[in-house]
Structures are given as structure tokens and as C-alpha cells.
Amino acid sequence: MQPAEERPAFLRQRVNMETNDSRRSFLKILPLGVVAGVFASIGGAAFRFLRPRLAAASDRWLDVANVSELSGPQPITRKVVAQHIAGWAVTTEEHNVFVLPANGNQVLSAVCPHEGCEVAWQQNTNRFACPCHESYFAADGSRISGPARRALDTLPARVQDGKLQVQYTSQA
């Protein structure tokens, strides 16, 4: 190995650095530290930025109808309008529900408990029928036959100022 003095300048500099271990390791770490700093500051913000936002549980009471309008032996089909806030969008969803005046204004969700199609009231056969897989439910919502394994879901309901109200949850 030739003496350091006889090497070209840019190689000599390297030899000098090799002789000074702590300085060399510091200088090597410094640029890495800068990159790590960029990652850390943006990464810290990214953690806050990406943190999932939990939707507040929907406990709003939705108007179904005036109690005075509800009478008779037949289930009555009504629409309720529910609002979901998810991130930057407010989703307004209309849902069909059935009010059973014969059953103390019990409110049934129209969502079939099998695969989630909307059931319809068939007046001539006096039952609810699901158009998708032909599940049938009696006028009080109990299951008659078909692939569905339970009765139509009952929604929490109350009467406030003469109005029937429900809380709508898509999966009761």
C-alpha cells in the first residue's frame, strides 16, 4: 500500500476520514437523519391524517306517520328517511317500513332477513312476500316459509306528539 501522501487528493480525503472513526460515522448518519426526519414529521401527520373516523351511533327518531292516520287490519307501507354521515358525504336513504295498526302500531322493517331484498305486502294472499327467493311472512311479520330463518325485524318505535317515530338501523 502506497503512503497516503502519494495518492490523488480525493482518495487522500477518504483515508483521513477512515482514521477518524467517530467523525466518519457521524457524517454518515447525518444525511440518513435528515431523511428520517422527513419521514418522521410527515409520518406523524400521516398517522393523524389517516386515523379512522368512527360514525356516531344513529339514535335519531324518524317520523313514520301521524298516529291518527293509522288504522285497519292491514299492514300499512310507509317510507322513512334516514341520514347517514360518513366522511365527506351525507347519505340520505329512504327505507320502506310496515306499520301494523292491528298490533299496537308495531313497525316492521321491509328488509328480508334472508338476503336483504325488500319484501312487499300481498293483499290477496294476506302475507308479506320476498320477490328474490320467495320467503313468506304472516301479517304480524312471523315467518311462514322460505329460505329466511326468522321473522321480519321489529324497529324500536315510540309515539311523540301524536306522531309515530322509529329508529332505523339497517341490521336490527
Select from 5, 6, 31, 54 the one that contacts another protein (CB under 8 A).
31
Residue among 119 and 164 whose Cβ is closer to another protein: 119
AA identity, residue 11: L
SS3 state of residue 146? coil
In 10 A of CB 100, how many CB atoms? 19
* Contact call for residue 116 and another protein (CB under 8 A): no
Tell me the pairing of strands 120-122 and 106-109: unpaired
Query: Could you tell me the smallest distance in angstroms from the CB atom of residue 89 to another protein?
Result: 5
Give the containing element (helix H, strand E) for 49.
helix 21-50
Q: Distance from first CA to last CA of the chain, Å, rounded?
A: 83
Residue among 53 and 162 whose Cβ is closer to another protein: 53
Residues that bind another protein (CB under 8 A): 8, 10, 26-28, 30-35, 37-39, 41-42, 45-46, 48-51, 77, 79, 85, 87-96, 110, 117-122, 129, 131
